[in-house]
Amino acid sequence: MRDLTYPPIIVTAKTAFRLLGQRFAMTGTEHVPRSGGVLLAYNHIGYVDFVYGGLAANPSGRKVRFMAKRELFDHRWTGPLMRSLHHIEVDRGDGVQSFQTAVDHLRAGEAVGIFPEATISRSFELKDFKTGTVRIAAEAGVPLLPVILWGTQRMMTKDHDKDFSRGKTIAISVGEPLHPTGADPAAETRALKERMSQMLDSTIRAYPEPEQPPGSWWLPASYGGSAPTPDEALRLDAEEKRRRAEKRRAARKK
* pLDDT tens per residue, range 82-91: 999 999 999 8
Q: What is the pLDDT of residue 72?
A: 87
Q: What is the pLDDT of residue 251?
A: 84
User: Residue range 119-130: average pLDDT?
Assistant: 97
User: Residue range 145-160: average pLDDT?
Assistant: 98
User: Residue range 223-230: average pLDDT?
Assistant: 98
pLDDT exceeds 90 at position 205 = yes
Q: What is the pLDDT of residue 103?
A: 97
Strand partners, 113: 40, 66
Q: What is the pLDDT of residue 203?
A: 98
Q: Give the model's confidence band at 35: pLDDT under 50 very low, under 70 low, under 90 confident, else very high.
A: very high
User: Residue range 92-115: average pLDDT?
Assistant: 92
Q: What is the pLDDT of residue 54?
A: 96
Q: What percent of the chain has pLDDT over 90?
A: 87
Q: What is the pLDDT of residue 55?
A: 97
Q: What is the pLDDT of residue 92?
A: 72
| Cβ atoms 178, 196 nearer than 8 A | no
pLDDT exceeds 80 at position 254 = no
Distance CA 56, CA 14 (A): 13
User: Residue range 40-67: average pLDDT?
Assistant: 97
pLDDT exceeds 80 at position 212 = yes
pLDDT exceeds 90 at position 4 = no
Query: Over the chain, what is the mean pLDDT?
Result: 95
Residue spans of alpha helices (H) in 62-179? 70-74, 78-84, 96-107, 132-140
Q: Give the model's confidence band at 47: pLDDT under 50 very low, under 70 low, under 90 confident, else very high.
A: very high
pLDDT exceeds 80 at position 95 = no
Q: What is the pLDDT of residue 91?
A: 82
pLDDT exceeds 80 at position 135 = yes
Single-letter residue type at 200: L
Q: What is the pLDDT of residue 253?
A: 81
Q: What is the pLDDT of residue 168?
A: 98
Helix axes 185-206, 132-140, angle to 10 degrees: 110
